[in-house]
């Protein structure tokens, strides 16, 4: 096949994939799950030139894969197709595939060429453009926590940690940051590292986290938030696929174990001007934060309730919010403090940034990042003030203020004027209807308890 319709970077990638047998065309849905088509490589140039058709109901798919008709994207519009076009620069190999395969991200458009309003990637782009219109260049990095699970359930029918390859026994204790745990799962971690290298995903750190079989893989900072979220989505796909090759499952569920720490998605955000100067830079910690840092924190605190459904989008998400479990319970902030929601990591003033610690790893990275950057934009434009930073244990100094249930978060999101202004009424309506349908299905279930 020729590569005349492909952007230069994608054409270069294609030339490095001799014998290609298939290409996965991927579009992340509202829940961050990858949907799409698998095509013959000969059809790839046509996909770039003319696009491909996929139903708009992709963005009405609930977590079980069924269309939430209340979104208006199913039978109401005849389950019609819309045009999807490749995201330039996202053609990458699928390193774990037995045959030479590739993958390519898509975005959805209306017939008139306007982006589809329910597409989370498009929403993020609109927020980034608002910040750049102020002369601000946001830079973000995504940190994802996940558990490795044995394919075999325990005697109660619940998930359990894999057998440790070093000891031959199943781990039951917590050894946070233990290097031996990285050694025990070295083959898996090395394969993930190689897969990220081949896909040009900038992963730089692997950490054994606060529970048996729990790990965190960090992505480096990107001055393109959309690319940073593309990396996160493809990293998730890589981790799950490579875990399956090792006869394990990888889960990004917010709270897979009732008695162990949950999985978080932590987002680091820096703000730079056009000359590359850090706008959050301030004096030493303990003094007054810079005006930009203060307004950014103020905006995040002010919009936290309304955006909670984006940070914690599922019923299980709210199981994660427990005292003294490395998850924040309100919008508190502080320097070098992991008990707050908005942590200012240690480092020099020129490296000043916000680590947003509320989201679960089950959340959609595009929507999380969009909500955080939109909150910052609101704080900067409205010149909102932050409160006093917390030193020490925030659990004993503050009270819980976030919506603690899925229902409460849905109510805040559905009735929020700010959500409609920041993301548009169409997205607010679609996402609220989708989550209401998921809640209805969830409440019909008869649990063992």
Residues 143 and 246 in one domain: yes
Instruction: From 53, 87, 115, give the residue that closes a domain.
Output: 115
**For every one of its 449 residues, what pLDDT tens digit does the chain have, with 9 covering 90 and above?**
455 679 999 999 999 999 999 999 999 999 999 999 999 999 999 999 999 999 999 999 999 999 999 999 999 999 999 999 999 999 999 999 999 999 999 999 998 999 999 999 999 999 999 999 999 999 999 999 999 999 998 888 888 888 877 777 787 766 555 666 667 788 888 899 999 999 999 998 777 666 788 899 899 999 999 999 999 999 999 999 999 999 999 999 999 998 888 999 999 999 999 999 999 997 665 568 899 999 999 999 999 999 999 999 999 999 999 987 889 999 999 999 999 999 999 888 888 999 999 999 999 999 999 999 999 999 999 999 999 999 999 999 988 888 999 999 999 999 999 999 999 999 999 999 999 999 999 999 998 87
Residue 191 domain flag: yes
Of the three residues 57, 83, 115, the one that is the final residue of a domain is 115
Question: Is position 3 within any domain?
Answer: no
Q: Are 158 and 209 in contact (CB under 8 A)?
A: no
Evaluate whether residue 416 is within a structural domain: yes
pLDDT of residue 246: 92
Contacts of 271 (CB under 8 A, 6+ apart): 131, 136, 137, 138, 139, 278, 279, 280, 292, 296, 376
Q: Are residues 233 and 347 in the same domain?
A: yes
Q: What is the pLDDT of residues 405-420, one digit of tens each?
A: 999 999 999 999 999 9
Residue 83 sits in the same domain as residue 231: no
Tell how strand 214-219 and strand 203-208 pair up: antiparallel
The pLDDT score that the predictor gives to residue 62 is: 96
Decide if 1 is inside a domain. Answer: no
pLDDT of residue 284: 60
With vertex at residue 363, the alpha carbon angle to CA 153 and CA 202, rounded to the nearest 5 degrees, is 95
- Among candidate residues 85, 115, 145, the one where a domain is terminated: 115
Query: Residue 164: what pLDDT?
Result: 78
| Block residue for tokens 């299905």 | 441
Give 329-339 pLDDT, tens digit per residue. Answer: 999 999 999 99
According to DSSP, the β-strands at 22-28 and 101-109 are parallel
Q: Is residue 240 within 8 Å of 147, Cβ to Cβ?
A: no
Asked if residue 136 belongs to a domain, the reply is yes
Tell me the C-alpha distance between 339 and 320, whole Å: 14
Whether 287 and 151 share a structural domain? yes
> Residue 58's pLDDT is what?
97
Q: Is there a domain that residue 438 lies in?
A: yes
Q: Is 385 within the bounds of a domain?
A: yes
Question: Using H for helix, E for strand and C for coil, what is the string for the chain?
Answer: CCCCCCCHHHHHHHHCCCCCCEEEEEEECCCCCEEEEEECHHHHHHHHHHCEEEEHHHHHECCCCCECHHHCCCHHHCCCEEEEEECCCCCEECCCCCCCEEEEEEEEECCCCCECCCCHHHHHHHHHHHHHHCCCEEEEEEEEEEEEEECCCCCCCCCCCCECCCCCCECCCCCCCCHHHHHHCHHHHHHHHHHHHHCCCCEEEEEECCCCCEEEEEECCECCHHHHHHHHHHHHHHHHHHHHHCCEEEECCCCCCCCCCCCEEEEEEEEECCCCCECCCCCCECECCCHHHHHHHHHHHHHHHHHHHHHCCCCHHHHHCCCCCCCCCCCCEEECCCCCCEEECCCCHHHCCEEECCCECCCCHHHHHHHHHHHHHHHHHHCCCCCCCCCCCHHHHCCCCCCCCHHHHHHHHHCCHHHHHHHCHHHHHHHHHHHHHHHHHHHHCCCCC
Residue 38's CATH number:
3.10.20.70
- With beta carbons less than 8 A apart as the criterion, state whether 145 and 214 touch: yes
Give the CATH number of the domain where residue 331 resides: 3.30.590.10
Give the span between the Cα atoms of 370 and 419, in whole angstroms: 11
- Are 105 and 135 in the same domain? no
The total of structural domains in the chain comes to 2
Whether residue 449 is contained in a domain is answered as: no
Backbone angles phi, psi at 276, to 5 degrees: 85, 15
Domain shared by 189 and 236, yes or no: yes
Structure tokens at 162: 């894999």
Classify residue 322 by burial, with Cβ atoms within 10 Å: 0-12, 13-18, 19+: middle
Looking at the structure, tell me whether residues 404 and 303 fall in a common domain: yes
Q: Both 87 and 142 in a single domain?
A: no
Q: Is the domain of 355 the same as that of 383? A: yes
Rounded Cα–Cα distance for residues 265 and 260 (Å): 16
pTM: 0.95
256/233 Cα distance (integer angstroms): 20
Q: Tell me the C-alpha to C-alpha distance, in Å, between residue 3 and each of 13, 14, 39.
A: 10, 8, 16
In a shared domain, residues 110 and 133:
no
In 3D space, the residue among 228, 208, 207, 209 whose CA is nearest the CA of residue 219 turns out to be 228
Predicted local confidence at residue 210, as pLDDT? 63
Q: Are residues 27 and 166 in the same domain?
A: no
Range of the domain at 57: 8-115
Clarify whether residues 290 and 430 are in a common domain.
yes
């Amino acid at each position: 096949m020729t590569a005349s319709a492909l952007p230069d970077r994608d054409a270069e990638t294609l030339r490095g994939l001799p014998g290609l047998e298939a290409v996965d065309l991927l579009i992340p849905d509202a829940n961050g799950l990858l949907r799409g088509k698998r095509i013959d490589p000969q059809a790839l140039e046509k996909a770039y030139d003319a696009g491909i058709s996929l139903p708009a109901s992709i963005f009405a798919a609930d977590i079980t894969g069924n269309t939430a008709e209340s979104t208006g994207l199913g039978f109401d519009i005849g389950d019609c197709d819309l045009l999807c076009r490749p995201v330039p620069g996202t053609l990458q190999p699928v390193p774990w595939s037995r045959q030479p395969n590739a993958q390519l991200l898509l975005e959805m458009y209306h017939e008139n060429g306007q982006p589809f309003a329910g597409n989370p990637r498009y929403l993020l782009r609109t927020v980034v453009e608002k910040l750049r219109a102020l002369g601000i260049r946001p830079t973000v990095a995504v940190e994802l926590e996940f558990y490795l699970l044995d394919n075999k359930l325990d005697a109660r029918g619940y998930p359990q940690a894999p057998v440790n390859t070093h000891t031959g026994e199943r781990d039951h204790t917590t050894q946070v940051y233990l290097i031996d745990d990285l050694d025990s799962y070295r083959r898996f971690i090395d394969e993930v590292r190689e897969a990220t290298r081949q896909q040009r995903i900038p992963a730089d750190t692997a950490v054994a986290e606060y529970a048996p079989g729990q790990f965190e893989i960090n992505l480096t900072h990107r001055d393109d938030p959309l690319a940073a979220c593309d990396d996160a989505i493809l990293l998730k796909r890589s981790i799950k696929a490579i875990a399956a090759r090792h006869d394990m499952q990888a889960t990004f569920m917010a709270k897979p174990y009732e008695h162990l720490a949950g999985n978080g998605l932590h987002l680091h955000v820096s703000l730079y001007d056009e000359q590359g100067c850090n706008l959050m830079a301030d004096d030493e910690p303990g003094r007054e934060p810079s005006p930009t840092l203060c307004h950014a924190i103020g905006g995040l605190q002010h919009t936290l309730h309304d955006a909670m459904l984006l940070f914690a989008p599922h019923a299980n998400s709210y199981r994660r919010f427990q005292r003294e479990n490395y998850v924040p319970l309100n919008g508190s902030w502080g320097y070098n403090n992991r008990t707050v929601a908005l942590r200012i990591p240690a480092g020099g003033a020129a490296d000043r940034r916000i680590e947003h610690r509320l989201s679960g790893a089950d959340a959609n990275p595009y929507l999380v990042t969009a909500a955080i950057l939109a909150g910052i934009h609101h704080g900067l434009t409205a010149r909102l003030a932050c409160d006093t930073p917390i030193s020490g244990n925030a659990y004993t100094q503050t009270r819980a203020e976030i919506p603690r249930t899925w229902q409460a978060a849905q109510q805040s999101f559905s009735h929020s004027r700010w959500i409609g202004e920041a993301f548009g009424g169409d997205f607010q309506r679609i996402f609220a209807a989708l989550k209401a349908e998921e809640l209805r299905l969830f409440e019909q279930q008869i649990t063992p308890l």
